[in-house]
Amino acid sequence: METTCIILKPDAVQRGLMGRIISRFEDKGLQIIGAKVMLISEELASRHYAVHKGKPFYNKLLQFMTSSPVLVMAIQGVGAIDVCRKLMGATFGSQADPGTIRGDFGVSNSYNLIHGSDAPESAETEIGLFFDQNELFPYDMAIKGWIYDISGGEPE
Protein backbone atom coordinates (compact mmCIF):
# COMPACT_ATOMS: atom_id res chain seq x y z
CA MET A 1 0.00 0.00 0.00
CA GLU A 2 1.15 3.50 -0.79
CA THR A 3 -0.16 6.82 0.52
CA THR A 4 -0.16 10.08 -1.43
CA CYS A 5 -1.09 13.68 -0.73
CA ILE A 6 -3.80 15.23 -2.89
CA ILE A 7 -4.83 18.89 -2.66
CA LEU A 8 -7.97 20.20 -4.31
CA LYS A 9 -6.86 23.74 -5.03
CA PRO A 10 -8.88 26.94 -4.51
CA ASP A 11 -10.39 26.80 -8.02
CA ALA A 12 -11.75 23.27 -7.45
CA VAL A 13 -13.24 24.29 -4.09
CA GLN A 14 -14.73 27.55 -5.41
CA ARG A 15 -16.24 25.78 -8.42
CA GLY A 16 -17.96 23.19 -6.22
CA LEU A 17 -16.06 20.25 -7.70
CA MET A 18 -14.89 18.60 -4.48
CA GLY A 19 -17.49 15.84 -4.43
CA ARG A 20 -17.12 15.02 -8.11
CA ILE A 21 -13.34 14.81 -7.79
CA ILE A 22 -13.39 12.77 -4.58
CA SER A 23 -15.76 10.32 -6.30
CA ARG A 24 -13.15 9.66 -8.98
CA PHE A 25 -10.63 8.46 -6.40
CA GLU A 26 -13.19 6.38 -4.53
CA ASP A 27 -14.64 4.94 -7.74
CA LYS A 28 -11.14 3.78 -8.65
CA GLY A 29 -10.92 1.87 -5.35
CA LEU A 30 -8.59 4.23 -3.50
CA GLN A 31 -9.09 4.89 0.20
CA ILE A 32 -9.22 8.33 1.80
CA ILE A 33 -7.51 8.02 5.17
CA GLY A 34 -7.35 11.73 6.01
CA ALA A 35 -9.08 14.88 4.81
CA LYS A 36 -9.39 18.49 5.88
CA VAL A 37 -10.60 21.77 4.47
CA MET A 38 -8.18 24.52 5.36
CA LEU A 39 -6.81 27.89 4.39
CA ILE A 40 -3.12 27.43 3.64
CA SER A 41 -0.89 30.07 5.22
CA GLU A 42 1.78 31.78 3.15
CA GLU A 43 4.43 30.11 5.33
CA LEU A 44 2.98 26.63 4.73
CA ALA A 45 2.54 27.29 1.01
CA SER A 46 6.17 28.43 0.73
CA ARG A 47 7.35 25.24 2.48
CA HIS A 48 5.14 23.05 0.29
CA TYR A 49 6.27 24.71 -2.95
CA ALA A 50 9.92 25.31 -1.91
CA VAL A 51 11.15 23.36 -4.97
CA HIS A 52 9.66 26.09 -7.18
CA LYS A 53 11.24 29.04 -5.35
CA GLY A 54 12.92 31.37 -7.81
CA LYS A 55 10.82 30.25 -10.78
CA PRO A 56 8.80 32.95 -12.58
CA PHE A 57 5.43 31.54 -11.46
CA TYR A 58 6.36 31.03 -7.78
CA ASN A 59 4.85 34.22 -6.28
CA LYS A 60 1.66 33.89 -8.30
CA LEU A 61 1.37 30.24 -7.21
CA LEU A 62 1.69 31.18 -3.53
CA GLN A 63 -0.88 33.94 -3.94
CA PHE A 64 -3.29 31.52 -5.63
CA MET A 65 -2.86 28.71 -3.08
CA THR A 66 -3.46 31.07 -0.14
CA SER A 67 -6.41 32.90 -1.74
CA SER A 68 -9.21 30.54 -0.68
CA PRO A 69 -9.72 27.24 1.18
CA VAL A 70 -8.39 23.96 -0.20
CA LEU A 71 -9.20 20.33 0.55
CA VAL A 72 -6.15 18.29 1.53
CA MET A 73 -6.41 14.49 1.47
CA ALA A 74 -4.20 11.53 2.26
CA ILE A 75 -5.18 8.77 -0.17
CA GLN A 76 -4.04 5.18 0.08
CA GLY A 77 -3.95 2.25 -2.32
CA VAL A 78 -1.69 -0.02 -4.31
CA GLY A 79 0.41 2.30 -6.49
CA ALA A 80 -1.62 5.27 -5.23
CA ILE A 81 0.84 7.94 -6.41
CA ASP A 82 0.87 6.77 -10.04
CA VAL A 83 -2.85 5.95 -10.06
CA CYS A 84 -3.76 9.41 -8.72
CA ARG A 85 -1.47 11.21 -11.15
CA LYS A 86 -3.07 9.36 -14.06
CA LEU A 87 -6.53 10.31 -12.77
CA MET A 88 -5.40 13.95 -12.49
CA GLY A 89 -4.13 14.22 -16.06
CA ALA A 90 -1.51 16.51 -17.60
CA THR A 91 -0.50 19.57 -15.56
CA PHE A 92 -2.20 22.05 -17.87
CA GLY A 93 -5.94 21.64 -18.32
CA SER A 94 -5.69 22.71 -21.95
CA GLN A 95 -3.39 19.72 -22.60
CA ALA A 96 -5.05 17.12 -20.35
CA ASP A 97 -6.87 14.19 -21.90
CA PRO A 98 -10.65 13.88 -21.60
CA GLY A 99 -11.53 11.46 -18.84
CA THR A 100 -8.96 12.93 -16.46
CA ILE A 101 -9.82 15.42 -13.74
CA ARG A 102 -7.97 18.27 -15.43
CA GLY A 103 -9.13 17.18 -18.88
CA ASP A 104 -12.79 17.17 -17.86
CA PHE A 105 -12.89 20.21 -15.59
CA GLY A 106 -9.99 22.49 -16.56
CA VAL A 107 -8.80 24.69 -19.39
CA SER A 108 -6.47 27.07 -17.56
CA ASN A 109 -2.73 26.58 -17.45
CA SER A 110 -2.50 28.48 -14.15
CA TYR A 111 -5.56 27.22 -12.29
CA ASN A 112 -5.15 23.46 -12.61
CA LEU A 113 -7.55 22.26 -9.90
CA ILE A 114 -5.44 19.66 -8.11
CA HIS A 115 -2.03 18.79 -6.72
CA GLY A 116 -0.72 15.26 -6.25
CA SER A 117 2.56 14.01 -4.85
CA ASP A 118 5.00 12.87 -7.51
CA ALA A 119 7.05 10.31 -5.54
CA PRO A 120 6.95 8.39 -2.25
CA GLU A 121 9.45 10.79 -0.66
CA SER A 122 7.47 13.90 -1.58
CA ALA A 123 4.23 12.20 -0.48
CA GLU A 124 5.69 11.52 2.96
CA THR A 125 6.96 15.11 3.26
CA GLU A 126 3.70 16.65 2.04
CA ILE A 127 1.50 14.49 4.26
CA GLY A 128 3.71 15.54 7.19
CA LEU A 129 3.20 19.21 6.31
CA PHE A 130 -0.59 19.00 6.32
CA PHE A 131 -1.46 16.21 8.78
CA ASP A 132 -0.54 15.19 12.29
CA GLN A 133 -0.21 11.43 12.63
CA ASN A 134 -3.40 11.31 14.74
CA GLU A 135 -5.36 12.81 11.81
CA LEU A 136 -4.76 9.79 9.55
CA PHE A 137 -7.08 6.81 9.86
CA PRO A 138 -6.04 3.76 7.84
CA TYR A 139 -8.73 1.10 8.05
CA ASP A 140 -9.58 -2.24 6.49
CA MET A 141 -11.97 -1.81 3.59
CA ALA A 142 -14.61 -4.54 3.55
CA ILE A 143 -14.52 -4.54 -0.28
CA LYS A 144 -10.71 -4.78 -0.55
CA GLY A 145 -10.95 -8.32 -1.98
CA TRP A 146 -13.17 -7.01 -4.78
CA ILE A 147 -10.81 -4.14 -5.64
CA TYR A 148 -7.53 -6.05 -5.55
CA ASP A 149 -6.66 -9.67 -6.21
CA ILE A 150 -5.59 -10.76 -2.74
CA SER A 151 -5.55 -14.50 -3.45
CA GLY A 152 -1.76 -14.51 -2.98
CA GLY A 153 -2.02 -12.79 0.41
CA GLU A 154 -0.96 -9.33 -0.74
CA PRO A 155 -3.11 -6.98 -2.83
CA GLU A 156 -2.05 -6.64 -6.44
For residue range 58-87, what is the model confidence (pLDDT) as tens digits?
999 999 999 999 999 999 999 999 999 999
- Mark whether 115 is an active-site residue: yes
Q: What pLDDT does 152 receive?
A: 84
pLDDT at 155 > cutoff 90 = no
Count CB atoms within 10 A of the CB of residue 153: 6
State pLDDT tens for residues 25-61: 999 999 999 999 999 999 999 999 999 999 999 999 9
Q: Measured between alpha carbons, how far is residue 147 from residues 26, 110, 144 in Å?
A: 11, 35, 5
pLDDT at 156 > cutoff 90 = no
Global pTM reads: 0.94
Q: Which of the residues 9, 85, 102, 115 is marked catalytic? A: 115
How buried is 34 (Cβ within 10 angstroms: 0-12 exposed, 13-18 middle, 19+ buried)?
A: buried
Q: What pLDDT does 67 receive?
A: 97
More confident residue, 53 or 150: 53
**How would residue 124 be classed by pLDDT, with cut points 50, 70 and 90?**
very high
Summary mean pLDDT of the chain: 95
Domains observed in the chain: 2-133 (3.30.70.141)
Q: Where are the alpha helices (H) located in the chain, listed in sequence order?
A: 10-14, 18-28, 42-48, 58-65, 80-88, 101-105, 120-130, 144-147
C-alpha–C-alpha distance, residues 26 and 29, integer Å: 5
